[in-house]
A = this chain, B = another copy of it.
Amino acid sequence: MRILGIDPGTAIVGYGVIDVENHRYTIVDYGCIRTAAHMYLPERLDRIYQGMNMLIKKYQPQEMAVEELFFNTNATTAISVGQARGVILLAAQQQDIPIGEYTPLQVKQALVGYGRAEKKQVQYMVKTFLNMMETPKPDDAADALALAICHSHSRKIG
């Protein structure tokens, strides 16, 4: 089973691709889709959409995991991340990829067993689960890998 984890944002979308077999993980790839702040918003959204289509075409994931947004975040951030998240979900839907959504709390719970774990603990567990030599960078890519691992534990779809 191949899972694509996505950490949404307008400036930077983190992604992580893992394979899971008999509860063992193999890392396939990770990285970011970036858009420049000076770009026209609709153009940035189009870049994210095209980037998602490229990732899906290249890695052919069976399922996808996306961060569920905080409800206690401020409205400006919520609108901005919401817009990016809209085109990300659209790209997945158009390729018939089932999507699981997880809050940061659920990700921490799944990886560290403690919902208030620190970012570093989550990153350490990502590195350990995936047998990596170093913590994946940037944070957005590490978060995306954590989402993919969380999804393989829970597979909460729809």
Q: List A residues at the B interface (Cβ < 8 Å).
A: 40-43, 45-46, 49, 69-76, 78-87, 89-90, 92-94, 99, 158
In whole angstroms, what is the CA distance A72 to B99 when docked?
Answer: 30
* Pick from B79, B84, B92: contact of A42, CB under 8 Å: B92
Residue of B nearest to A99 (CB): B42
Could you tell me if B158 and A89 are in contact, using CB atoms closer than 8 angstroms? no
Copies of this chain, how many? 2
- 4 shortest A-B CB distances, which residue pairs? A82-B82, A86-B86, A83-B86, A42-B93
- Min Cβ gap A22→B in Å is 29
Could you tell me if B89 and A90 are in contact, using CB atoms closer than 8 angstroms? no
5 more A-B residue pairs beyond the given contacts A74-B75, A78-B79, A83-B83, with a C-beta to C-beta distance below 8 A: A41-B89, A69-B75, A79-B82, A84-B86, A86-B90
B contact residues around A86 at 8 Å (CB): 45, 82-87, 90
Could you tell me if A94 and B40 are in contact, using CB atoms closer than 8 angstroms? no
Could you tell me if B71 and A76 are in contact, using CB atoms closer than 8 angstroms? yes
B contact residues around A73 at 8 Å (CB): 75
- Min Cβ gap A135→B in Å is 29
B contact residues around A43 at 8 Å (CB): 93
In whole angstroms, what is the CA distance A43 to B93 when docked?
Answer: 6
Given contacts A40-B158, A158-B40, contact A79 B69 (CB under 8 A): yes
